[in-house]
Structure formats: structure tokens, C-alpha cells
Structure 1
């Protein structure tokens, strides 16, 4: 067979390598419109920040090394500009020579990737406005930082690339402002899990403009809808990506509303002998069942392997994605897998949730730091629907455990049963994953009846808001209207609590509140326990106050746009 592959990097290159391992006889031609067929695009922010010092380290394979090893005809700077499915040909433009030619195929693989979204707003043509998607982009940004020495940078968009660039530019001595149109950065997590992240970013000296939409770019600023100018000697656009599928316009290959390529479980398009994969295709989310764009490197590599096997006669299904992801921001790690609460709500999928806080390793071993976990699960059997973690060391291995549990249909009770590696420097005898399973299981069993910080505003005045922390903790800050009876004296002071009133229990993270709930429930009280405790309430309060104060100061001192 003659097999053409459009696009390299994770999807196209992995397809080509697998095809050759499957068959020594097929003719394989790989077209890449850029100069690099396989590079570490996830490492680009760290090259710009000089964490990766050698630019050659970003090149995983060169055209020559790939050709030598896999006997693939690699044609770089060669852009496929159109596809004729009836004639089974593609039209290719060689950007080195300017020549355009027609190439026939037996099988066609589309892995064109996606391009950064560049909004239509005033000032985008300035030479201090950048996007980051490929090697030339990274070289251009690093050269600009090294030669121009900008004092400030505005990053428009608080996703993975935006925050990774925020860290690396800040480490380089640039004052960073992050502008995000949504209520919180990092779309894969929920707003309640973003409070710690926002507070951490501000503590690191970053300016954070939430619920803020950019209107225009000037020579030294970004203009916001709120009437504020954000100082910026350089600007990075990082508001998302869009599939690069314009060349398929008249091909007859079915595309979605965003231009994404529609494929079935075998990664086949609507046209016979044409396959597609990577950032340009929509795939099934394994929790919601919805078709969506999930542009991640690991799924693209898996899809490449499956496409190659299917072309060679092995019927392999791609069983969907779950969007497992992780971000490093200075010492903090933010990770997620599966669906978030907001997505479950919009899809009408029933769920329950718990918040747990655990040290990354045994409390008596020095250096442990707290990680926040949000676990989402079905209300019937407790099947895991999603997990989010914000913390420091050890976040990666916990999110991977949750991801595997979700992938293979496990429940919160299975989390309780997991036998996970334990030694004091690495974990506790009850790992954070186990603890999340125990708490979720208690909710399903009716032993722990939770309420949440969003419920506080609707609690009736006659109810009892009971804080069971110590006197010292209570004096250091508490929820308005709460009365304090420390847990260890609760049994002797039960008469102080009216049995005719519902009791809303608060402790620091929810653990002592659960113990108090068990005591009160067995003494005839009706109780609810604050999931996430005062710690989550305080993180949200600090985030909201700092955001409000920040905008008051901006509007008072900053330049207002008429």
C-alpha cells in the first residue's frame, strides 16, 4: 500500500512508526508543513524559561533520523493544501521550492493538529504579540525576552500553556499578569478547587484578572472590558486552539461545528480509506459519552497506534478519552481526570461529591504538605466520575491512581481496598486515595451527610451552626453566626444544642466534623457536615476578597478607558 500521513509530532509520527513495525513492504510518506516532524511541544515553555537549555533537546526525531530508522519518506516544509477523496489524491505545496504537486494514495491518515486561536481585535499585528504552538514560536519568544528584556508580560488565557509560560517568564524576571475571561483559571478543574491556585498565584506576585475579557492591544498594554489597561511590554495569546482542517473544506470528509474531523471508534472518517487522529478530531469522553476535542499528547499517541493497526487489518477500537492532565506551577501541582462538577451538571449526569485534605506523606515525617482532593462519583453504586487535586509533591501519583480507577469502572469502595505503596517519606498507611474512598463511602452509606460552602447562604436562621474546632482555632477565624463547642468536650455539652434544630457542623477539613456528626446522630440530632471544612471556606473567602480589592485598586489608580 501507499500510505500518506498529513502531519507529524505525536499523532502522525507515532502512526508512521507503528505502520513500519507492522509492515516492511508498505510505502509511507509523511508530510509536515513545518520544518520539524517530531518535537517536544509540551516542553516549549521550559525552553523559553531556560529550564531546558539546549534547543536540540526539543527535537525528538529529525527528518533524517526518522527516515533512517523507519524508512519513511519524510517531506518537511510540505503542506497538504487540499484532498480529493474521489481520486484518492492530495495536493501538496513545497514551501522550499514553491512547487505544487499531486500525490496519490491507497490509505490517508490525517493528523494536522490545531492552531492557536487568535482573536480579531485591535493591535494584534504588533511585533510584541506572540502565540506558542511550535518550535519557531518558542525560538521567537525566547529571542524577544533575551534581546528586548521586557519588564512586563500580559498572558491572555489561564490554561496550561498560559500558566506554564507565566511561571517561566516570572522566573526570568518578567512581571506577569494573567487575564482570564472565565471565573477561574485552569478549565479542567472547578471554581471551588481553583481558590487555592488563585491565592498561590497572587502570593507569587502575579497579577490575576479574572472575569476579564481583552478588547484591544496597544504598544505597551492590553485594554480590558472593565475599563482597565494592563501594562505589557509583551503579550502572549493563549486562549485555546482550533483544528487546522481548512484544507478539508471541499473534500467530502465530515467536519463538526468547530471544524473538527468526525471519526468513529476505529478512527475512520466518513470517507473510506481515510483515517484521522490527534488534536483535530473529536473523540468520545468516557464519562459523559459526548464527542469533544481533548487535545492531549498521550491520547494522540494511542490513536496513532490504533490507526496503524487498523490500516494493517487489525480491528482495534479507540475506547475514548478522559482528559487526564497535570500542571506544574512553581512548587504547586494541579491535576484532573474525568468530568468536573460543572460539566456533570450541564450534562444532567447525577453525582455526589466530597472534599478531602491529606498530607502527601506521613505526618510525623518532616516536609509533608497538604493536598486538596475533590472526588465526584455516581449516587447509586459510587462509580468514579472525576477527580481533581491541588497540592504539591505526590499529586501526580494520586491523580494517576484515580485515572486508572475511572478508566476501568471502579467505585469509591474499590478505592478503599487499594493496597498502595507506603513508607513514611512517600505516603501514609491510609493513602490520600484511600481516604477519599473512605469519605465517599461514608456519604453513600449515609454515615456522613454533607453540605457545602455554596449552601451557607441558604441556611435558615433558626438552625445551629456548630464549630467543633478548638477555642484557639475558632478565635483565629470562623464563619459568621457559628457557636463553638470543641469536639473533645462535645459529649459533655450536648444539652447546649437544641434537638429541635438542624445542626450544621464545621471543623477545619471535615474529619472532626464527621466524628461530631456520628456523636450527634446517635444522640438524636439531625446534622450535616461541611465537606472541605473551614479550610475550603477560608480559601474561597480570601480569593473573593483579594479579587474584589484588586479591581477596586485598579479602578482607583489605573488608567480608565473612555
Structure 2
């Protein structure tokens, strides 16, 4: 039997090596269009910044090592030009010699990944993606020629774009970040993304949201807001699209997302062809609909699953995709899983929101760092729909716990009952994940009613009274306009001073607000707690200011 694999990174190589372990007699040929296989593409930005000092560290395997260990026939700089599914052949072009050949197969695996979105610069401007070792070589060459005075424009404020920005700053480059949307890191909700933009601007990055590149000339790029920005280099990181051209021309079914449609065992509409990786549709965990999730972990997992299917040893179907993601940028850690609130609103899906701001470990133990956590819950079933965390230490383990909880079908309230590891330097006796569960359970049972940061203005406009239950000292450092200061410890004795009107209470992070809401409701007041307190409202205000700035840029060019 002969299996041809198109694409030699992540999913392709995972499939190839797994298939060899299952079948020693099979002929396995891998065609890779680029110059390298099995390289650490997620580490590419960090080689630019010098965090990964040795280029060789990115090259996990070579055709020679793969041949020696796994008896794989790996051919780099070979591009598959066409697939004849009926004849079970592919046409292959050697990019070094230009020669073409026709190769037969019994089984074919597509693992070509995704293609970067096209940039919008003029000819002559050095523009590169960050998707291959060759890209990194070109970027390092430009930075080396420009020295410490390099000016770089990064297009796209997603995961790759922000990683590029951080590592360019490490090279002392002057960086302009251009983002078409009205916020950085669009998978986050606005109040969670605001602190990231603030960190970028504090580090000296010129962040331009609501903006695109419309042209380039003489070492400058021209932006849609009319700005002329110096650029020795443009890094294109505005997103990817599925590489499905081969599949389409071969008559394979393409799904509604534009990705290759596969079944639960990674088989395409042709029984002899499988597909894995970023160019393939996944099944969404939340609504079971087709979705695109471009994650290396999924590509590797599905490559292994496809190999099992090809070898005839598969016993389980692919699990739905959660889209669990994490990013480190300028000392912050950003993580998310499932849907965000924007997507839930767009889908018209009912949801409940919980914001908390716990410490990464026990507050009395040195080095505790505050996190911002957001949990999205389905009101009727208490199911977890998504979560976002921004902080420093401890973010990674909390998002993974929530991802496992979602996979296992735990409810939001069920998070309160998880038994998690505790020692002062690692967590609190009430872990941040437990705290999310407590707040979710309070919301589910109705013991506390909450109000979101973006709902406060409308509530006050219709007569609600805002009561700040923090201490007088905290109130003096900053307060929400129109708030009355009535500290929690004085509330029981002084609640009669409050008007006969709906009350909204708030504290710094929401915990004292919950206590105040419970107290006042039992004393006969109509009261709601501002979810996430002052910190969430402040982050939302920052996000609103960023959106307004983005809108003004768009308005100016119209």
C-alpha cells in the first residue's frame, strides 16, 4: 500500500510518523512545498526576538532523520499541482529542477494548512508573513541591515501579529501596529482587550485600529487614515484562509466555512482521501456547526486520528473543537476557550456573564498577580459557553481547567466543586476557578442579581442609584461618575440614607458588592451588583475609548 501526504508540518508529519508506527510495510511519501519539514512554526517569532537563539532549534526533523527513524520518503520543495481522484494519481512539480511527474497512491492525506491573507502594499516594499523558516530568515536579514533603527509595520493584531510586535520590540525596532478592526486581539471581548492595547502603547507601539494599508512608496506605507508611516519592513499577519484549492479542483466537498469538509474520522467526500490541519473544517463544541480553528494541537491530534483511520485501527471519532488558545505578550498572558460574548450576541444566543478579578495565588504569599476572568454561561442549562482570562502568572492552568470542564460537560456552578491543588505559592484555598463557580451559582439561584458594565449608563439614566461600597480612601483614588460612597462596613447602619429607588452597588472587583447586595436585598431594597466591579467597568471604559478612537479614524477617511 502507498500513502501520499501533501504537507510536511504539524498534521502531515504527525500522520506520517503515526502511520509508520502502525504499518511498517506501507510506502509513505511526503511532499512539502517549502524548504523545511517538521519545523516549530509556533516558535518562529521568538527566533526573530532572540528568545530562541539558535535557528537550528526550530528544525525538529529533516528528511534525512525522518528517513532514518521512520523510513519516510520526504521530499521538500516539491509541490503537488493537481489530484486525479478517479485515477488515484497526483501531479508533482520539483521546484528546484522544474520537472513534473505523475505519482500513484492508494490513500492520500491533505495537510496543506492555511494561506496568509494577501497584503495591501505596493511592489518594492519588503513584506513577509511569519509562517516559515524562510520568512524568518528574510525578516532577520532586513532587521540586520537596518540595525537598531529599523521601522516595522505589523498588519494584524491577532496572535501572530502580537507575538511579532513583542519580538520586534526586543530587537529595538520602532513598531506600528495596523488593525482593520476596532480592537486588538478580536477573539476577546472589548473590556478584556483594553488592557492589552494599553500595554502595547505603554511599550511604545503605535497602535492604529480601524485602519488598513492602502499603498507604499519610498520606504513608507500609506494608511487609510491618511498617515504616512516609515517602514523598512511590513509583516503581514492579518489572518489566514484555508488552503483548499487542490481539494476544490479535485472535486472534494468544501464546507460552508471555506475549509475542506471531513467526517468524524477526517475522511473527505472521496473515500480514499483524508484531510487534516488548518485548511479543514472542525465541529464546534458549542453549536455542533462547522467551524475553522487554526491550532497546532488540533492539527497534530487530527493527523494521528487520520493515520489510525487509514491503517484501519480507528476506534473513536474526533472530539468537537473548543478553540482553546493562549498568548504571551509584554508580560501579560491572554487565554480563551469557547465563544466570546460578541459571537453569542451575534447569534442571538441567551447568555449570562461573570467577571472576577482574583489573585494568581494566595494574596499573603509574595508575588501574587491579579487576573481578569470572564465566564459565559447558558442561563437555562448552566452550561459553560466560553471563558477569557488576562493576567500574568497562573492564567494557563486556569484556562486548561475550564477547557477540561467544558469537554467533560461540567456546569458553570460545578466549577465551585472542583477539588484543585492548593498551596499558597500556587493558588488560594478558593481557587480562581472555584470563585467563578461560586459567582455562577449565585447567579443561577438568583441569590444575587448582577448588572454588566455596559448596562450601567442606561440603568442610571432610568433612575437607578449607584452606590460605591469601597472604603473612602479607595473612592478618593477614582470613582464612577454619579456614585454615592457608602462603605460596606457602614451599610447596615446607614442604608436608610438610600433613596427609594433601584440600587446598583459596586466595589473594586465584585466580591464586596455581592455582600452588599445580599445585605441590602434582605433589608428590603431592589438591588443589583455591578459585575466585576470598578476594575471591569474601568476596562470597559478603556475599551469604549479605544473604539471611539478607531471610529474617528474611519470617519476621518470618509
TM-score by length of 2: 0.96
How far apart, CA to CA, are the structure 1 residues paired with 2:341 and 2:472? 34
1:543 deviation in Å?
Answer: 4.8
CA distance in 2, matches of 1:548, 1:244: 36
Residues 491-519 of structure 1, C-alpha deviations (whole Å, 9 max, x = no match) = 01011012x31101111111111000000
Number of the residue aligned with 1:217: 216
Per the alignment, residue 291 of structure 1 pairs with: 290
Report the counterpart of residue 168 of structure 2 in structure 1: 169
Say whether residues 1:241 and 2:240 are aligned partners: yes
Which secondary structure state, in structure 2, belongs to the residue aligned with residue 164 of structure 1?
A: helix
| 1:409 and 2:409 are equivalent in the alignment | yes
Name the SS for the 1:195 alignment partner: helix
CA distance in 2, matches of 1:550, 1:277: 37
Counterpart in 1 of 2:259?
260
Kept in 1, the 8 Å contact 2:337–2:386? The answer is: yes
Unaligned runs of 5+ in 1: none
- Cα deviations across residues 383-405 of structure 1 (Å, max 9, x unaligned)? 11111000001111111111111
> How far 1:551 sits from its partner (Å)?
9.7
Inter-partner Cα distance in structure 2 for 1:33 and 1:518 = 63
Match status 1:131 vs 2:129: yes
CA distance in 1, matches of 2:225, 2:328: 30
Specify the SS of the correspondent of 2:389.
Answer: strand
User: Secondary structure of the residue that 1:184 maps to in structure 2?
Assistant: coil
Q: Distance in 1 between matches of 2:293 and 2:215?
A: 29
Match of 1:201 in 2: 200
2:352 is the alignment partner of 1:332: no
User: CA separation in 2, counterparts of 1:549 and 1:400?
Assistant: 34
The count of corresponding residues between Structure 1 and Structure 2 is: 554
User: Are 2:506 and 2:534, in contact at CA under 8 Å, matched by a contact in 1?
Assistant: yes
- The 3 A distance-change label for structure 1 pair 162 and 526 is same
Residues 272-294 of structure 1 deviation map (CA, whole Å, 9 limit, x = unaligned): 11100001101111112221111
In 2 relative to 1, CA 264–219 (structure 1 residues): closer, same or farther, beyond 3 Å? farther
> Which string of whole-angstrom CA distances, capped at 9 and with x for unpartnered residues, describes residues 32-91 of structure 1?
111211000000000011111111100111101011111111111111000000101010
Aligned to 1:158: 157
Does 1:471 find its partner at 2:472?
yes
User: Residues of 1 paired with 2:203 and 2:495: CA distance?
Assistant: 45
Corresponding residue number in structure 2 for 1:19: 19
Could you list the runs of 5+ residues in structure 2 that have no partner in the other structure? none
Equivalences for residues 446-457 of structure 1 within 5 A: 446-457=446-457
* Paired residues of 1:285 and 1:320 also in contact (CA < 8 A): yes
Counting only pairs closer than 5 Å after superposition, residues 181-200 of structure 1 correspond to structure 2 as: 181-200=180-199
CA–CA separation in structure 2 for the residues paired with 1:465 and 1:473:
16
Q: Secondary structure of the equivalent of 1:288? A: coil
Distance 2:428 2:486 in 1: 30
Matches of 2:306 and 2:391, distance apart in 1? 37
Identify which range, 85-94 or 207-216, moves more after superposition: 207-216
Question: Does the 8 A contact of 1:242 with 1:258 survive in 2?
Answer: no
TM-score by length of 1: 0.95
Alignment of 1:60-99 (within 5 A): 60-99=60-99
Superposed CA RMSD in Å reads 1.9
Check whether the contact 1:116–1:132 (CA below 8 A) recurs between aligned residues.
no
1:29 shift after superposition: 0.9
In structure 2, how many angstroms separate the alpha carbons of the residues matched to 1:561 and 1:343? 28
Alignment partners' CA distance in 1, 2:61 and 2:463: 68
Distance 1:321 1:561, change over 3 A: closer
Any conservation in 2 of the 1:199–1:543 contact (CA below 8 Å)?
A: no
- Say whether the 8 Å CA contact 2:465–2:502 is kept in structure 1: yes
Contact 1:357-1:532 within 8 A present in 2 as well: yes
Distance 2:260 2:546 in 1: 43
Deviates more, 1:532-541 or 1:265-274: 532-541
Query: Secondary structure in 2 aligned to 1:189?
Result: coil
Q: Secondary structure at the match of 2:520?
A: helix
